[in-house]
């Protein structure tokens, strides 16, 4: 575990405000780990705590097994990529990249070699002499990464680095970042509110809400098996039907929702009478449901064509809205206003406790 990060019951509060509450987890050496959550959930605070700008009110941060208490950001084996990149405007690209080496007293020749090597890594080989304000958004990103890699950190911390970029560029950079991480092999800790980013890039994701880690797992786990209502609602699109558990038998439970009793998998073993939410993914709904499916009578409200997928919206008699996703080459969707029946197999329904519902 030479470059793993461990958080041991870390809490951070500012005055009366508790930003991070008792977080304990371990990030493996060389892993691409993301913290995913809405703004204000505490992920930025957590990142700054790992990098040393904030001392935890309780608990410890360990990097490579060593306790980092009292060690400032200038002496931790971490490097942080800031959200606005914070490149030094009065220095050239090469000087920016070499800055960390310069303050460590590395002699000029060795510095130049490392800088050249990194410029090649980020494919800006001949741009070393340019000033920062002559670069494009993507180029600045890569310079920021090279600058951080120059000091050979054990852990690279990234604070929503792609949020300011255009959509296409963002998708391109996702792949690039992943490729760089695999090539360099160090631990990346990434924070974002964009779950598409988190899922595509990471080995594992920690979903955070209001200072608390709700679930940790790889992309598949948090998407297909969310453990809390917040995770179910935040990661991907999901239809949520709140209600109360009417019956719980074995693997399944029946929830009495506004549109009637519906079944789903009772993965959290809720008891009868508890407040719950039934979740069904849009892609699990069918317009011609099979015999053993749970059925809902709905009215078609509209269809949004998005290239590969079409999103159909329905309203229920109780006023809730449901979305359903179909791929290309299906039957024509029902026109707006017409009645329809959609359904899902109980296996695709998930019953989760009501806590945290609505935060997503």
Partner 1 sequence: MTSRPFLSSRAVLKAMTGFYVLLFFAYLFGPLAVMGITAFNTPSYPQVYPFESFTLDWFVKLANDDDMVAGFRNSLWIGLLVVLVSVPVGLAGAIVMTQVHARARSFYYLIVVSPVLTPGVIIGISTVIFWRDMIGVTGTRAFYNGTFLTVVGQSSYIAAYTMLIFLARLQRFDRAQDEAAQDLGASQTQVFFHVLLPYLRPAVFSAAVLAFLSSFENYNTTTFSILADKTLTTVLAGRVRQGTDPSLSALAVAIIAVTVAGAVLYEVLRRREDRRARQRERAAGAAEAREMAGMTG
Partner 2 sequence: MHSAIGKVFIFGLPAIVTLYFLATAWADRRRLGRAAPKPFFKRNGIAIGVYLIAAVGLWCVFAIVLPQLYMVDYSFRPKLPVAQMGGPKDLYTLDNYHYFLFGSTRSSAEWNVVHIRALVQTVLISIVITAVNFAICYPIAFYMAQVARPARVRLLMLMLIAPYWVNEILRAFAFRILLGTNGIINRTLIEAGVLGEPLDFLGADVGLYAGLTYAYLLLMMFPVYNAIENLDRNQIEAARDLGAPWWHIHLFIVMPHAKPGIASGATLVFMLNAGALAAPLVLGGPRSLWFTPIVYDRFYQAFNWQQGAAYALILLLTCVVFVLGVLKLFRLKLGEIAR
Query: Least distance in Å: CB of 345 to partner 1?
Result: 40
Helix (H, G, I), strand (E, B) or coil at 130: coil
Sorted by sequence, the CB contacts under 8 Å of residue 289 that are 6+ apart come out as: 295, 341, 342, 343, 344
Binding mask 23-62 for partner 1 (x = CB under 8 A): ----------------------------xxx---------
Per-residue tokens: 206:
């920690």
Query: Least distance in Å: CB of 15 to partner 2?
Result: 5
Output phi, psi for 226, to 5 deg. -65, 145
The strands making up 58-63's β-sheet, listed across from edge to edge, are 17-27, 5-14, 58-63, 66-67
> Can you tell me which of 57, 225, 310, 315 binds partner 2, judged by CB under 8 A?
57
To 5 degrees, how large is the angle CA 4–CA 9–CA 12?
105
Cα distance between residue 297 and residue 262, in whole Å: 12
Residue 248 CB neighbour total at 10 angstroms: 19
The span of 74-82, 231-239, 272-280, 296-304 binding partner 1 (CB under 8 A) equals: 74-82
Residue closer to partner 1, measured from CB, 73 or 289:
73
In the window 15-54, what residues touch partner 2 (CB under 8 A)?
15
Q: Give which of partner 2, partner 1, none residue 98 binds (C-beta under 5 to 8 Å, depending on kind).
A: none
Which of 357, 360, 359 shows the shortest CA–CA distance to 274?
357
Query: Least distance in Å: CB of 161 to partner 1?
Result: 13
Cα distance between residue 322 and residue 238, in whole Å: 9
Sorted by sequence, the CB contacts under 8 Å of residue 66 that are 6+ apart come out as: none
Query: What does DSSP say about strands 58-63 and 66-67: parallel, antiparallel, or unpaired?
Result: antiparallel
Q: Give which of partner 2, partner 1, none residue 55 binds (C-beta under 5 to 8 Å, depending on kind).
A: partner 2
Which of 55, 1, 75, 5 shows the shortest CA–CA distance to 34?
5
The span of 129-137, 258-266, 293-301, 322-330 binding partner 1 (CB under 8 A) equals: 129-137
Regarding 292 and contact with partner 1 (CB under 8 A), the answer is: no
| Cα dihedral across residues 357, 174, 82, 77: positive or negative | positive
The span of 20-28, 113-121, 136-144, 310-318 binding partner 1 (CB under 8 A) equals: 136-144
Regarding 9 and contact with partner 1 (CB under 8 A), the answer is: no
Report yes or no: 189 and 201 within 8 Å, Cβ to Cβ: no
The span of 12-20, 77-85, 130-138, 206-214 binding partner 2 (CB under 8 A) equals: 12-20
Regarding 14 and contact with partner 2 (CB under 8 A), the answer is: yes
In the window 98-117, what residues touch partner 1 (CB under 8 A)?
99-100, 103-104
Q: Give which of partner 1, partner 2, none residue 138 binds (C-beta under 5 to 8 Å, depending on kind).
A: partner 1
Q: Which residues bind partner 2 (CB under 8 A)?
A: 13-15, 55, 57
Q: Which residues bind partner 1 (CB under 8 A)?
A: 51-53, 72-75, 78-80, 82-84, 86-91, 99-100, 103-104, 130-131, 133-139, 147-148, 151, 166, 168-169, 172
């Amino acid at each position: 575990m030479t470059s793993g990060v461990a958080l041991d019951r870390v809490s951070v509060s500012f005055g009366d405000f508790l930003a991070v509450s008792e977080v304990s987890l371990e990030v493996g050496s060389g892993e691409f780990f993301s913290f995913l959550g809405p703004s204000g959930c505490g992920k930025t605070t957590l990142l700054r705590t790992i990098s040393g700008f904030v001392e935890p009110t309780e608990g410890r941060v360990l990097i490579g097994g060593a306790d980092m208490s009292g060690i400032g950001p200038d002496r931790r084996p971490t490097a942080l990529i800031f959200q606005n990149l914070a490149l030094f405007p009065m220095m050239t690209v090469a000087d920016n990249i070499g800055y960390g080496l310069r303050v460590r007293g590395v002699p000029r020749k060795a510095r130049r070699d490392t800088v050249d090597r990194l410029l090649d890594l980020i494919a800006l080989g001949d741009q070393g002499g340019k000033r920062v304000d002559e670069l494009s958004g993507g180029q600045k990103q890569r310079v920021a990464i090279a600058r951080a890699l120059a000091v050979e950190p054990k852990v690279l911390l990234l604070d929503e680095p792609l949020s300011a970029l255009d959509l296409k560029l963002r998708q391109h950079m996702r792949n690039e970042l992943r490729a760089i991480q695999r090539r360099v092999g160090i631990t990346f800790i990434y924070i974002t509110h964009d779950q598409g980013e988190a899922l595509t890039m990471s080995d594992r994701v920690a979903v955070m809400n209001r200072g608390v880690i709700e679930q940790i797992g790889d992309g598949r786990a948090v998407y297909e098996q969310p453990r809390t209502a917040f995770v179910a609602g935040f990661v991907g699109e999901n239809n949520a039907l709140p209600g109360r558990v009417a019956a719980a038998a074995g693997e399944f439970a029946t929830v009495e929702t506004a549109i009637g009793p519906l079944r789903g998998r009772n993965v959290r073993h809720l008891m009868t009478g508890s407040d719950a939410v039934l979740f069904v993914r849009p892609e699990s709904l069918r317009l011609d449901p099979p015999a053993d499916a749970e059925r809902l009578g709905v009215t078609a409200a509209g269809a949004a064509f998005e290239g590969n997928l079409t999103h159909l919206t329905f309203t229920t008699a109780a006023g809730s809205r449901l979305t359903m996703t179909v791929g290309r080459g299906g039957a024509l969707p029902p026109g707006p206003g017409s009645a329809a029946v959609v359904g899902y197999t109980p296996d695709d329904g998930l019953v989760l406790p009501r806590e945290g519902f609505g935060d997503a």
